[in-house]
Homo-oligomer: A and B are copies of this chain.
Amino acid sequence: MKSEWEIFAAYLRKNGIRRSEQRENVLDVFLKTEKHLTIEELYFLSKKKSPEIGYATVSRAMKVICDAGLAEKVDFEDGITRFEHKFGHEHHDHLVCVNCGTFIEVRNDEIEKLQEKMAKSKGFTIIRHKLQLFGLCRECQNK
């Protein structure tokens, strides 16, 4: 199985995109952090390796990384875009706590099947979907 880096290299080659230290540092930071990072967080973490890096470069790097299929944007409706790992992670939905902001990734095949069925009955072909459950996590309920 190909690693993220191999996929990235192949994507760059195929699209005539050059290698660059900054972009690779952004990817490295992204891959090493098992958390949904914002561009701002990626920016500050990348600064440790590339102190001169600009916000725009991080933004551009994440676009390439998303296009390469390694990352995906997530929007929890708080106005900030986060990125989650895509490669090697099967599709999942999110349970988001509206109080503390923590979230859990969940998956339910039965729901996925029903979605497919529902779309088909309306003549739609689903390309992707987004299911977010907003509520209170166990801890926040007990406060």
Mark A residues whose CB is within 8 Å of B. Answer: 75, 77, 95, 97-98, 104, 106, 108, 110-111, 114-115, 118-119, 122-138, 141
Q: Find out whether the CB atom of A134 lies under 8 angstroms from the CB atom of B127.
A: yes
Q: Find out whether the CB atom of B128 lies under 8 angstroms from the CB atom of A134.
A: yes
Q: Which residue of B97, B125, B136 is within 8 Å of A141 (Cβ)?
A: B125
Q: How far is the CA of A126 from the CA of B138 in the complex (A)?
A: 11
| Cβ–Cβ < 8 Å partners of A97 in chain B | 124
Nearest-neighbour CB distance to chain B for A110, whole angstroms, equals 6
Nearest B residue to A95, CB-CB = B124
Nearest B residue to A129, CB-CB = B133
| Cβ–Cβ < 8 Å partners of A135 in chain B | 119, 124-128
